[in-house]
Structure 1
């Protein structure tokens, strides 16, 4: 049990209507998952108001809910007999308060916070492979990294966990700082500073400033982990007065990087090999089973976390060499008809699309190289230029370029004059139909687009081999 209805009312400063002693085992934000013993949190977002689903949560057995003042009355809702309503100004903020309260119950737990423009989830998963060698840990599910996802992770903490890893995303200034108040990390890693969020913040330096809020919350006793290959990350170092562990692989960072990768040998879709050196110690050969040079950078970031927590280079290298499958991030699928798909559809930014196209171009295939590309979000004034560049780059390395959605025209225009045949499709269902009809034995296709496209949904119409 997390707490009783009365205890939670005190924690969040709620006005309680109903019994004080109802046990709460779980907090849920999806009414479809609600059941007996649950507290339903009606999150108010841009598209939906969770208060519209309160009745469904009650029907499924939830006896306790958060609710904003007047929200139930406006919908003509009366709480069922024996249930409790905790009236709060902002249910989402109250959810965060409960998460922060629960996290404070585990002061000895080592909390690792991760932010950055690219590679957060991959780094988190690789770091989890390393840290779990010492004992049970917890890490956020999928990319649960916002003001709703973070409390969900914190409320899964238990006395059996010695460490936790939490991604922290943002949409603007101040949001990393707010998440840090909940998470209270002892280690903070910034993977890199890229183009994502240019539409909101205007420049990469402004993005760096916002991501750097993670360093501000560490304090003198905390450890910062920074990318020595990234000039914007290097500019953040003065914001932290405690220990900094640098990681990198470029020739320019050789003197700075305490955790270093060298002799990188890309091996197509099977991954890569590289040499890991930590603090000038003996080199360790790593066989990373994830494709692309960007995954080497993510592995080095994860290695920096392991090193900061006392793992040896040998243990780190062995953990990184274990089989790993990251859904929608360079995930290789073989279809029943012999075609192969690189499902990299989780998100897209100029840097990650370039990396994915590099993987596609380098992989031997007996059939056609096909890139299925949607738009890249949050690029602001640079959006048109970046989509033209994307099209130009893709047009030089693939045989067939399938463009989808609102950015299709810009991508197609950029590809004009290249070697690729270009097809523009209006939406993702049209892409699904095209792939099911046109893919054949020997083809190698890349799926890549921003999260809003949900491009991975095309797989539902394709027969994937187990």
Structure 2
């Protein structure tokens, strides 16, 4: 019988003081090892297979899908982001699993002709990236950003960098590291490896240099890049500069394995943002919705609000759910976000258990500008009177806490029966049996 964390905590008096967390860590390490050992053996049976590991605090799901799509131009690919689009079709990306068990199982799908195994590799817990590095042994490793997305696990940026750097340190001398040159914690990982490094960014000395970037909802994200005195331009369907590093990582990976720049451009210009990550939906009602509802650490809230501020719309509405990784002074930080949102939106609606923390700002905001709701159904009822053709709505929240995607589905005309708060499910609502009556 499997011993879960709840059992271990109940057994704390028997385990001894301070031993519960250690017991849970050992259990997770054992489970991760059981998942990755078969994958390690399978990898050994396919010596021509090149493993590409992507990690980082943010942008890794997008980078994984884009890299997989580009590398498919050079040979058969297995990628952890799904559903998968073959070469020549729009790469419709979605949230992918990044834990040891699903990645270990995915490796077992590799066959003799599989050239690349492209996987998002998350920390998950203290042993996650260590085991990925040891057992899957990446040939190419990508680190997008170092941010404080998981304060309870990492505490500071240095701890995040030390964990993410495990993939870089595991590279063989003939391997390749693709690093964000504009993030000092990522750029410093160059010291961890003897492998070739492609540094991406605006920084002087970057191997793949960002010359210019501009983003808008109407024109998309446009990039001008330089590599070995060659200029590469991209006109993408992404809506925010948040996607710059994932796109550059895909360009770097493609160039490194010999994909022609014209084919890289074609693939990336056909790709769409992953669902729930700054993805624009234009509804038949004339309303446009930016769905950025997967996760909401503070830095990403500010990025999303910047995109809303730059957009042109008859009316702008910001819907904000549960913010993550706030640490202390939670209510104060919610009020700070409320003021930031009110500076760029005509109406701001907070949804969820922390919505009440901004209620005291309603008088300051002005009549009808700041709204609060506990549930998605209440939020939808409050949105009705303020929306109309030409309105632009930003949905920003944490997927497993809020599922603000339900608002998008309801505004699209789909019947939504579920009104759970904090259901804890990580998958998207459109795939959930609880959505419809």
Interval containing the TM-score (normalised by the shorter chain)? 0.7 to 0.9
1:341–1:444 contact (8 Å) kept in structure 2: yes
SS of corresponding position for 1:397? coil
Q: Give the whole-Å Cα distance in 2 for the aligned partners of 1:263 and 1:232.
A: 23
Q: Give the whole-Å Cα distance in 2 for the aligned partners of 1:90 and 1:205.
A: 26
Per the TM alignment, residue 340 of structure 1 is displaced from its structure 2 partner at its CA by 1.3
Q: Give the whole-Å Cα distance in 2 for the aligned partners of 1:277 and 1:412.
A: 49
Can you list the C-alpha shifts for 1:135-190, whole angstroms capped at 9, x where unaligned?
A: 22111033210122212321232223211210111244332111223432101110
1:154 matched to 2:104? The reply is no
SS of corresponding position for 2:199? strand
SS of corresponding position for 1:380? coil
In structure 2, the CA distance between the partners of 1:242 and 1:93, relative to structure 1 (3 Å rule), is closer
In structure 2, the CA distance between the partners of 1:336 and 1:186, relative to structure 1 (3 Å rule), is same
Can you list the C-alpha shifts for 1:401-455, whole angstroms capped at 9, x where unaligned?
A: 1111233244566888457811111133432444466532221101111232222
In structure 2, the CA distance between the partners of 1:317 and 1:412, relative to structure 1 (3 Å rule), is farther
In structure 2, the CA distance between the partners of 1:241 and 1:387, relative to structure 1 (3 Å rule), is farther
Q: Give the whole-Å Cα distance in 1 for the aligned partners of 2:5 and 2:114.
A: 35
Q: Give the whole-Å Cα distance in 2 for the aligned partners of 1:380 and 1:435.
A: 30
Can you list the C-alpha shifts for 1:20-45, whole angstroms capped at 9, x where unaligned?
A: xxxxxxxxxxxxxxxxxxxxxx9876
Match of 1:111 in 2: 51
1:348 matched to 2:288? The reply is no
Highest relative contact order (Cα 8 Å, sep 6+), 1 or 2? 2
1:222 matched to 2:175? The reply is yes
Can you list the C-alpha shifts for 1:311-359, whole angstroms capped at 9, x where unaligned?
A: 3444333332224242111222223322111111122222222221122
Can you list the C-alpha shifts for 1:13-69, whole angstroms capped at 9, x where unaligned?
A: xxxxxxxxxxxxxxxxxxxxxxxxxxxxx98766899xxxxxxxxxxxxxxxxxxxx
1:209 to 155, 162, 179: 162
SS of corresponding position for 1:452? helix
1:177–1:217 contact (8 Å) kept in structure 2: no
Count of matched residue positions in the alignment of Structure 1 and Structure 2: 379
Match of 1:17 in 2: none
Unaligned runs of 5+ in 2: 9-28, 82-94, 415-437
Q: Give the whole-Å Cα distance in 1 for the aligned partners of 2:6 and 2:284.
A: 38
Match of 1:86 in 2: none
Q: Give the whole-Å Cα distance in 1 for the aligned partners of 2:122 and 2:104.
A: 13
Q: Give the whole-Å Cα distance in 2 for the aligned partners of 1:96 and 1:227.
A: 28
Match of 2:279 in 1: 331
Q: Give the whole-Å Cα distance in 2 for the aligned partners of 1:232 and 1:415.
A: 40
- Alignment map for 1:293-312 (pairs within 5 Å): 293-312=241-260
In structure 2, the CA distance between the partners of 1:429 and 1:169, relative to structure 1 (3 Å rule), is farther
Unaligned runs of 5+ in 1: 1-41, 50-88
Superposition TM-score, scaled by structure 1 size: 0.74
1:361 to 299, 309, 313: 309
Match of 2:134 in 1: 181
1:174–1:213 contact (8 Å) kept in structure 2: no
2:204 to 247, 254, 262: 254
1:200 matched to 2:148? The reply is no
Deviates more, 1:127-136 or 1:429-438: 429-438
Which one has a bigger Cα radius of gyration? 1
Match of 1:138 in 2: 78
Per the TM alignment, residue 371 of structure 1 is displaced from its structure 2 partner at its CA by 0.8
1:111–1:186 contact (8 Å) kept in structure 2: yes
